Each structure stands twice: as structure tokens, then as C-alpha cells.
């Protein structure tokens, strides 16, 4: 079975803690500052969402946490990534291979590129079990069938011998999830796990992730741009912009009372599906957009990276990076002039 029995302690530390992570890549037009001091933590058994526009640094953060940042493209990586208290930046390739799959699992957003088209799904899942748990052929097949059942793939006795192209998109995504949880990792990193799936399948995949968290005790880092997904499953949310976390809080608090202007603008630009469906064809409401463009990552901003798009910017926003400030109850924001809300600004 998949269930992990863990000792629950009130003083248990973070499964993963990222502090001041900076990644600079080599680019044809100069260095690319992909991450600029990202800090976040994930506690045992919680789902933490990392939210932001395309190109903001979400996936780079995930790849760094998995040790998958290509070394030949990297100019510099500073800061720390601690897994169970151990700094994993600088691990040798073999040490990373032992950690990935066994302790940290990754759910990639495109199952067709994550799966080998020449191998059956049973062989692909089983390969992980053979490497990390040294199981024999019979034990591997039994465990693979358990994993297919746990991820609710229909008719697992038949599907185990099929190839990726024989499965639907939703089933391929479940196979990727089965591979990620095969060794019962302490941390799952899910990079846009519902991209390109229809609404019904999206809901099933999200429900599956929640169930797996409850059954296995795994923590989950959820990479997404969809605030609806965040509201549905995340315990805490970190908003990232131009390579920096600008706000983080318990999800309900962040969505009900955003402090950073970027977070507030993200929420305003989310489409109101019910209003769109109710409106006549010639009066479909326009979706508000955030003015301006994301700054070029080849230019490290001197101040707040959102300043040139922000209607609350003041002079120091252009010249000085705002520090992270705790507004109470772990609600962190990096902004010189936060959005006031009804409880009163500090």
C-alpha cells in the first residue's frame, strides 16, 4: 500500500526551505537573471502554490529544487536549498540521482515529453522501483498495479502493458503522478499538472493530489498560474514576479486581502466565467489586464521589479528593493506601498 506512517511532531522542521536563491543564466544578449533571491519553505504534509505569469521564475525554482538546472547554461547560483535540513546545492550527480525519485518526486506538465514512447507504462514505473528499492520482477509488477489503482487509472491490469500513445491525456498525467509517488517521496513538485486537460479531468487530478497528500503525508510544491487551482487545493501561496517572491501567506488570507499591487492585479485579471456566460454575445465583459510588460530578465532592476507597472509606485520603488515585511500571521509582502484593505494598513 502507499500509506506512509510518519511520526507527527509539532516542532517538525520544513521538508524544503529555499533562502535567497539566485540563478543567473548565460544568454546570447547577456546574462539572464532568472531568480533574484527567492525564499520559501514547505512544511510536512502541506501544499504550497507558487503563482505568477509565464517567465516569472516558477519552473526555474522547481528545476533548481530537483537539481535539474543545466550546468552548462548556468552562470551563477547562490543562496541555499535545504531538504530536511541538508543543503543540496552543489550535490554530485549521483547524489542527486539518489535523492530524486526516492525523496523528491516531480510531476511534469507535459506527460508526452516526460514518458518514453518506446516503453510500456508498467516498465517505466517499474524502472524507478528497481533503481531505488531493488525489487524483483514479481514484486515490481504488484507495486506498479497498486500505483495504477492508487492514481485511479481504469482497468490497470490491461493498462500496465500499454504504451503512452494508447492512453488519454488524463491517463498519461496519472501515469506521471504514479511515477512521481512510486517511492513515497517526502516532497512532490507538481509543475502545472493540469495544463492542457479539460475541466473535468483537471478537477479529478487536483482531487487526486489532495488524496495522495492525505494518504502518504507528502508535501507538495504546486507550480501554477491558475488562481482557481490555488483556491481549490493550496494551504499557502507564494506569488513570484520577475524572479522574486513578492508576497506569501495562507491561501485564504492572500486571496481575500492581497497586499502587493501585483497580487491584487492578478486577481482582478482573472476571468469571471459566470459573468461571461451570462452576458449577451455582443456584451461579453472585457477581462482587465495588467498594464505594461514584464521587465527584461537581462536587466536586474535596482528597485521593485513591478514599479514601472504599478499605480502605487513612489520614488523609492525605482531605486531600492523593498524588504520582505511580516504583516502578521505569516503574511509576508515585499512592497514599499502595500494595498490597504479593510482591516487597516500598517
Angstrom CA distances, 216 to 176, 187, 210, stand at 17, 10, 10
% of the chain with per-residue pLDDT over 90: 60
Contact by Cβ (8 Å): 162, 155: no
Contact 172, 166 (CB under 8 A): no
Of the two residues 272 and 147, the one the predictor is more confident about is 147
pLDDT for residue 279? 59
Lowest mean pLDDT among 151-155, 284-288, 308-312, 320-324: 284-288
> Strand, helix or coil at 228?
helix
Which of 162, 187, 333, 165 minimizes the C-alpha distance to 260? Answer: 333
CA distance 34 to 37: 10
The predicted pLDDT at position 296 comes to: 84
Q: Directed axis angle between helix 137-150 and helix 169-181, to 10°? A: 120
| Per-residue pLDDT at 255 exceeds 60 | yes
Q: Provide the 3-class DSSP secondary structure of residue 112.
A: helix
* pLDDT mean across residues, the chain: 87
Max CA pair span of the chain: 68
Q: What is the pLDDT of residues 99-154, one digit of tens each?
A: 988 899 999 888 888 899 999 999 999 999 998 887 788 899 999 999 999 999 99
Q: Identify the residue with better confidence: 156 or 270.
A: 156
Helix 199-216 vs helix 169-181: angle between axes, to the nearest 10 degrees? 20
Residue 214, strand partner residues? none
pLDDT at 8: 38
Please state, in angstroms and rounded to a whole number, the distance separating the CA atoms of residues 242 and 57: 7
Could you identify the residue written with the cell 526555474? 60
pLDDT of residue 284: 58
Q: Is the pLDDT of residue 2 over 70?
A: no
* pTM, 2 dp: 0.88
Residue of 117, 123, 155 lying closest to 140 (CA atoms): 123
Instruction: State the Cα–Cα distance between residues 258 and 256, nearest whole angstrom.
Output: 6
> What average pLDDT score do residues 301-327 get?
92
3-state SS assignment for residue 168:
coil
Q: How much is the pLDDT for 195?
A: 76
Burial class (CB in 10 A: 0-12, 13-18, 19+), 258: buried
Contacts of 12 (CB under 8 A, 6+ apart): 43, 44
Give the pLDDT confidence of 197-240 residue by residue, as tens digits: 788 888 888 888 898 888 888 999 999 988 888 999 999 999 99
pLDDT level of residue 294 (50, 70, 90 thresholds): confident
pLDDT band at 345 (very low <50, low <70, confident <90, very high): very low
Amino acid at each position: 500500500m502507499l500509506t506512509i506512517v510518519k511520526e507527527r511532531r509539532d516542532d517538525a522542521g520544513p521538508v524544503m526551505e529555499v533562502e535567497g536563491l539566485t540563478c543567473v543564466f548565460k544568454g546570447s544578449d547577456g546574462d539572464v537573471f532568472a531568480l533574484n533571491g527567492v525564499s520559501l519553505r514547505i512544511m510536512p504534509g502541506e501544499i504550497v502554490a507558487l503563482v505568477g505569469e509565464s517567465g516569472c521564475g516558477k519552473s526555474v525554482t522547481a528545476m533548481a529544487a530537483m537539481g535539474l538546472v543545466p550546468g552548462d547554461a548556468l552562470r551563477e547560483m547562490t543562496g541555499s536549498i535545504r531538504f530536511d535540513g541538508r543543503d543540496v546545492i552543489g550535490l554530485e550527480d549521483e547524489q542527486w540521482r539518489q535523492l530524486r525519485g526516492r525523496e523528491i518526486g516531480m510531476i511534469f506538465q507535459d506527460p508526452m515529453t516526460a514518458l518514453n514512447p518506446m516503453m510500456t507504462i508498467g516498465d517505466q514505473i517499474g524502472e524507478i522501483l528497481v533503481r531505488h528499492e531493488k525489487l524483483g520482477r514479481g514484486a515490481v509488477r504488484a507495486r506498479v498495479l497498486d500505483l495504477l489503482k492508487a492514481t485511479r487509472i481504469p482497468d490497470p491490469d490491461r493498462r500496465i502493458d500499454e504504451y503512452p500513445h494508447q492512453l488519454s491525456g488524463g491517463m498519461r498525467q496519472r501515469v506521471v503522478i504514479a511515477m512521481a509517488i512510486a517511492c513515497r517521496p517526502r516532497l512532490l513538485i507538481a509543475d502545472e499538472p493540469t495544463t492542457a486537460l479539460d475541466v473535468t479531468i483537471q478537477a479529478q487530478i487536483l482531487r487526486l493530489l489532495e488524496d495522495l497528500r492525505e494518504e502518504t503525508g507528502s508535501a507538495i510544491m504546486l507550480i501554477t498560474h491558475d488562481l482557481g487551482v490555488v483556491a481549490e487545493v493550496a494551504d499557502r501561496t507564494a506569488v513570484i514576479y520577475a524572479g522574486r517572491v513578492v508576497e506569501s501567506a495562507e491561501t485564504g488570507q492572500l486571496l481575500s486581502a492581497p497586499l502587493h499591487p501585483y497580487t491584487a492585479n492578478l486577481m482582478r485579471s482573472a476571468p469571471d466565467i459566470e459573468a461571461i456566460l451570462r452576458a449577451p454575445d455582443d456584451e461579453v465583459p472585457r477581462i482587465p489586464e495588467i498594464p505594461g510588460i514584464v521587465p527584461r530578465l537581462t536587466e536586474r532592476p535596482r528597485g521593485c521589479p513591478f514599479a514601472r507597472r504599478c499605480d502605487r509606485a513612489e520614488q523609492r520603488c525605482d531605486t531600492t528593493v523593498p524588504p520582505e515585511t511580516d504583516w502578521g500571521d505569516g503574511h509576508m509582502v515585499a512592497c514599499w506601498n502595500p494595498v490597504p484593505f479593510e482591516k487597516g494598513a500598517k
